[in-house]
Every structure is written in C-alpha cells, then in structure tokens.
Amino acid sequence: MKFFLDTANVQEVNDLLDTGWVDGITTNPTLIAASGRRISEVIQELCALVDGPVSAEVTAVDYETMVKEGRYLAQIAPNVVVKVPLTFEGLKACYALTQEDIMVNVTLCFSSGQALLAAKSGATFVSPFVGRLDDVGHDGMGLIQEICEIYTQHPDIDTLVLAASIRHPLHVIQAAQRGADIATIPPKVLHQLLKHPLTDKGVETFSKDWQKTGQSIL
C-alpha cells in the first residue's frame, strides 16, 4: 500500500523525504489555509519535492468554475492531481478533466454507490473518509472493504481507493488489511505508526549492554 502525506506544510514533507515513506501528498483548502500561503506556491513546492501525485483541491462548487480551477491547478506541475468533491457538479468536472488527461481525486466519498459513480466518471482516485464516518457512528473501514470488493469484481475499473480522514495508526493497518491502494496520512499519525515502547526499550537495553563491552564497530 502506498502512503500519501496529508499536509500542506513543506517542512513536514522535507522532514520525511529520506525515509522512503512518502509516495505522494494530499492537500485540501483547510490545510492550505493553515499554511498562510498562496495555493499555487505551496503546490509548486510540494510537486518539486516528490515525484508522486500531489492533490490540489478546487474551491468552486459549480461545474464550469471547477473545470477552470482544475485546469489552472493542473498546469502548475505534471504530477498535480485535481481534487473535486463527490457532488453532481464535481463528477461532471471529473469527467471533463479526465478527458483532458488530467488526474482527478474525487474526495468526500461516504458510500460505495458514490464510489461507483466516481469510477464511472473516470476518477484516478476516490477518497472515502473513514474517520468522519466513524465520527457519526458508521463503519468507515467497512466502506473501504465494500469499495475494494466492488472494484475488484470489475476489471474495467482502474480507479484507486485512497483511504482518507485517517485518525490513528489502527486506521492505516485496517485500510491495508481491507485492500486500500493508498492511505493518506497526517505526519503525526505516520510517526505514531513507527513508535512502540518495546522497540524503545529494546534499543535502550542493547545500547547499555554494548557500552559495557568497550568496543567500537568502526
């Protein structure tokens, strides 16, 4: 499974580039607003840092303006993926943009029916929001499994399932178990995925024992 970093903070991306964990990046209007910078500048910098897809989201809600914004965002760099909401207007925009060979990430997916429509509209990625579903008492990971099962049954569907709204490390593990192609993960959760107290304890023990030998490997 690929990992996309869910951030618009360039420094957070830089800090993780040498790990091999970052296959792409997703942003949204909230993350861009938090950066305090112009979207074109942020996306351009992020696209220069990673070879993989970088999602940049439109802010319009009508079809014509979505398409215009999508075209503008797509010309920033060849690895830009235009994000559109899973609405009627958004799916129309998705279809129009994909006809121009622009990659599209259809976001705010909350049902398998919506995911089917996104695939029919040519989406490169569909983003089911597992955390937000969990928040309202629904089974976010159940949706990931449903979509993956449906897509697998139909070889003509090449839309990738991108598990979004990841809240904690277990979400990442569960998304991988259910067959998601990608998880988009906040940097904080990615670091939490790494940490385990027994690992830290083991390193501490080995280090103390090695120091007692008085040896040096180099």
Confidence class for position 166, pLDDT limits 50, 70, 90: very high
Which residue in 2, 68, 83, 208 is the catalytic one? 83
* pTM score of the predicted model: 0.95
Confidence class for position 171, pLDDT limits 50, 70, 90: very high
- The Cα 165–Cα 171 span in angstroms is 9
* 201 catalytic per annotation: no
The per-residue pLDDT for range 29-69, each reduced to its tens digit, is 999 999 999 999 999 999 999 999 999 999 999 999 999 99
- State the pLDDT at residue 212: 95
Domains delineated in the chain: 2-213 (3.20.20.70)
- State the pLDDT at residue 111: 98
DSSP string, 65-105: HHHHHHHHHHTT-TTEEEEEESSHHHHHHHHHHHTTT--EE
**Straight-line distance from the first to the last Cα atom of the chain, in angstroms, rounded to the nearest whole number:** 37
